Amino acid sequence: MIICRTKADMRENVRNWKQVGQTVGLVPTMGYLHEGHLALVRMAIQKADRVVASIFVNPTQFGPNEDLATYPRDEKQDLGLLAAEGVDAVFLPSEEEMYGAGGGTHVDVPDLSGILQGALRPGHFRGVSTVVTKLFNIVAPDIAVFGEKDYQQLTLIRQMVRDLDMPLEIVGHPTVRESDGLAMSSRNVRLSEDHRSEAVMLNRALDRAQEFAKTGPAIAELEAVVMSRLAQAPSAEVKSVDIRDAVTLGELQGALDRPAVVLLAVRFGPVLLIDQRVIAPVT
């Protein structure tokens, strides 16, 4: 497995692969890898001849009061996991290598970056879309794989790729969960024992929404059902419960009459967890 710490090195390796007709898949990560990340890697291996995983904790997507300094990191462990999966190369740039001394140019998808999680975390999605664009320009992948847990991020990246005519396919992978249903996240290790036991309520709330959706309820009724289930976690601080069009993330009103996505953002102590589920009425 090749470890590339500079953009020039990464580009040279990709150039060599493409000169012999090989396709390239990219799995962007911020490291501290778990089974959810490795599932993305395995999907990329199925779809491309060569696979690159990037590890970069991107400072521009963290707000001033967010957990950049405490975000978990373990480079040695990450590299061991990626090597075991058969990844061909890992792009491991420093912040200086990635952004240099300037960093004055940004990529934004305004229709999607300021709503939902973007309203809770101003500037977050501008940071995401900018760094993902840079990764696409450096690695030049034919496909890139992202998890559906970050549903708004996946939707935003798909629109960005369409709008800017980027020559690659964006592939979404279903959310990978722990045995008790909690969505896998690098932040889970920061949950206290009590918060960890309560956090499973996110998945249970989504299960209830999925079942209730079969009756074709009003959107407001669905929201109430989800909030009621989340209330069973005493320490949960519900930041947002949103039910949006599953394709556009547009607002929905009246009865549920099309596929929708339930988006949750819930804080347990210092840890903000997100989760999602696409639901639909029975037709």
Residues belonging to the binding site for ATP are 30-37, 147-150, 176, 184-187
Q: Are 157 and 32 in contact (CB under 8 A)?
A: no
Q: Which helix (H) or strand (E) holds 181?
A: none
Does residue 229 contact residue 275 with C-beta atoms inside 8 Å?
no
**Where is pLDDT greater, at 147 or 101?**
147
For 125-139, how does the pLDDT look when each residue is reduced to its tens digit (9 = 90+)? 999 999 999 999 999
Show the domain range for 239. Answer: 186-277
Please say whether the beta carbons of 220 and 251 come within 8 A: no
End position of a domain, from candidates 173, 197, 213:
173
Whether pLDDT at 103 is above 70: no
In this structure, are 231 and 118 located in the same domain?
no
Residues contributing to the annotated binding site for beta-alanine: 61
Q: Is 11 exposed, middle or buried (0-12, 13-18, 19+ CB in 10 A)?
A: middle
> What digits encode the pLDDT tens for the residues 8-40?
999 999 999 999 999 999 999 999 999 999 999
CA 73 to chain centre: 17
Shared domain for 76 and 214, answered yes or no, is no
Q: What's the number of domains the chain is made of?
A: 2
137: Cβ contacts below 8 Å, ≥ 6 apart: none
Rounded mean pLDDT of the chain?
95
pLDDT at 75: 97
On whether both 126 and 199 belong to a single domain, the answer is no
Same domain, yes or no: 30 and 167: yes
The answer to whether 54 and 90 are in contact (CB under 8 A) is yes
Catalytic choice (37, 124, 173, 195): 37
Q: Is 37 a catalytic residue?
A: yes
Give the pairing of strands 260-268 and 237-245: antiparallel
**Confidence class for position 101, pLDDT limits 50, 70, 90:** confident
Show binding-site residues for (R)-pantoate.
61, 153
Q: In the structure, what pLDDT confidence band is assigned to residue 71 with cuts at 50, 70 and 90?
A: confident
Whether residue 57 is contained in a domain is answered as yes
Reported as a single tens digit per residue, the pLDDT across 226-240 is 999 999 999 999 999
